[in-house]
Amino acid sequence: MKKELSKQKKVRIDKIIGQNIRRERDLRKMSREELAEALDLTVSHMGLIERGERGATAVTLDELSTTLGVSIDSLFASPDKKSLSVKEGETDISRLRRKVITMVNRLYEHEIKLIIHIIKGIISYRIDFEDDEDDNEEG
């Protein structure tokens, strides 16, 4: 009897977490595919979590909260409680930066070094491009 109640409570919690993930994802106009990709999960696995048919691991919950910009405890909040998860004054660029950080946290050291090399190239190109535009405006 006690084990059955515990299982029912877990199923209820998984459903609440799934509903909150879906709500937060929808608020950000993010597709399930985009969220799954950011977390390195399959779309079907993400769907199972959102429907409450599969529980998310602690690591996945942490990554979800970071990617969505919410606290982990807000994912456990009952649906009738108002969401405090949207950070006041947060911009799209802030959400994009957080998404990049979440993705980088899953990489190996050599992959991070490659990303740094790519970013330096982009910055260098941008500076060169801006200098060319300045020259064209003066001439």
Going from the C-alpha of 68 to that of each of 57, 126, 131, the distances in angstroms are 16, 29, 37
Q: pLDDT tier at 7 (50, 70, 90 boundaries)?
A: low
What digits encode the pLDDT tens for the residues 71-120? 888 898 886 554 444 455 556 777 778 778 877 877 788 989 999 999 99
Under a CB-based contact definition with an 8 Å cutoff, are residues 45 and 35 in contact?
no
Residue 101 lies in a domain: no
Residue 122 lies in a domain: no
Q: Which helix (H) or strand (E) holds 83?
A: none
Whole domain around residue 22: which residue ranges? 1-79
Q: Domain containing 39 — which CATH number?
A: 1.10.260.40
Taking 80 as the threshold, does the pLDDT of residue 133 lie above it? no
- DSSP letter, residue 133: H
Residue 47 lies in a domain: yes
Residue 125 lies in a domain: no
Domain count of the chain?
A: 1
For 36-57, b/e burial (b = at least 16 CB within 10 A) is bebbebeeeebbbbbebeeebe
What's the rounded mean pLDDT across residues 12-36? 92
d(CA 51, CA 53): 5
d(CA 100, CA 14): 27
